[in-house]
Homo-oligomer: A and B are copies of this chain.
Amino acid sequence: MKILIIGGQGTIGKKVNDHFAKKHEVITGGRNSGNVIVDSVNSKSIEAMFESVAKVDAIVCIAGEAKWAAFESMTEEDFYIGLKSKLMGQVNLVRIGQAYVNAGGSFTLTTGILADHPVALTTSAAMVNGGIHSFVKAVSLELKDGIRINVVSSGLVEDAVEKYESYFPGHNPIPMRKVINGYVKSVEGKGTGEVIRMYDNC
């Protein structure tokens, strides 16, 4: 299978990348590094990426950001950081990418536990994740040629515990092998419109 992984250099992306590379042809896309450079906030950049990569069997997106801050300090513009990046970045990847996925291929997007179990400071991140969950369910009804789409939503991942555990009191870290399995289930399984939740203690 020819798999395009956007954000294949991040905490989760690198492990997912290494796993799929064992038995598939993987192309990584990133803002600053990878086989192809792409800024997913910019739909023109997404179009240029697909022009260069051409058709693939699976597209995995593990990219996008949103501002974390106290709600009372969040401006309207602060919310648009997440809307333009993690939300519309992923929507545009599907919107533009649908023409570049082979029949029977798949999209796998990425969100996180905040959609269902938010913590303080995450009004924007939670909102964006929840939006993607519903988008995936809806767009799965319309994609053509047997193209599937799912989203992997992980809890606090083991490799990010040091950086984020203070934000997630009482959350059990999710082993990386479980997170990777979420992506494997989406790419190599047959399901579509699924929110693949990798949570513990929820």
Taking Cβ atoms with an 8 Å cutoff, the residues of A that contact B are: 43, 70-72, 74, 76, 79-80, 83, 87-88, 91-92, 95, 98, 114-123, 125-135, 137-139, 141-144
Contact = CB atoms under 8 A, between A and B. Distances in A.
Contact of A43 (B76, B87, B92, B122): B76
B134 A118 contact: yes
A114 B137 CA distance: 9
B139 A135 contact: no
Contacts of A92: 76
A120 B91 contact: no
A123 B74 CA distance: 27
B114 A95 contact: no
Nearest to A128: B131
18 contacts: A71-B142, A72-B142, A72-B144, A79-B88, A83-B83, A83-B88, A115-B130, A118-B141, A119-B141, A123-B142, A126-B138, A127-B131, A127-B135, A127-B138, A128-B131, A129-B134, A130-B132, A130-B135
Contacts of A76: 43, 88, 92, 95
A83 B80 CA distance: 9
Q: Top 5 A-B pairs ranked by shortest CB distance?
A: A130-B134, A131-B131, A118-B138, A126-B138, A127-B135
Nearest to A125: B138
